[in-house]
Amino acid sequence: MIYQLHRLDGRHSHNQRFRYYLGFSASMANRSGPLYFNDAMAWCIQTWGWSAEVNATVRILSWARQSMVMGIPNTLASEIFEHPPDHCNPHWSWSNQIQPDLRIYLHSDAELTWFQLAHPVDLKSP
């Protein structure tokens, strides 16, 4: 599998929730990035369960957090804040908004290590 590992810091969006993202080429030419991306998604789903797209997850959780901080009485926000829904998976998320790559976001070193054990980077030319 061919992907590039990126460590998130203050310059990156979603750095408060995730520590890494794996970038897959958006092109089918030479490297079959979309195939690898979908293989990686399937593995993450089998390993940790379904996850909503990263922007949707962040919007859901941010809305609940802001509602609670502002003291707006809202039962749904309170419920989401205390018990995030299963599709706001704490281990991983994804984005297929070609930015220039397709991305799998991983929460921590533990998730990254688990993924890398299952999918070492193929350094050979395609």
CA-nearest of 47, 48, 33 to 3 is 33
| Residue-level pLDDT at 23 | 92
Render each residue's pLDDT in the chain as its tens digit; 126 residues: 889 999 999 888 888 889 999 999 887 776 688 899 999 999 999 999 999 899 888 887 776 667 766 776 667 666 666 656 667 788 999 998 867 789 999 999 999 999 999 998 776 544
| Residue-level pLDDT at 123 | 62
| Residue-level pLDDT at 37 | 93
| Residue-level pLDDT at 126 | 47
| Residue-level pLDDT at 44 | 97
| Residue-level pLDDT at 124 | 56
pTM for this one? 0.81
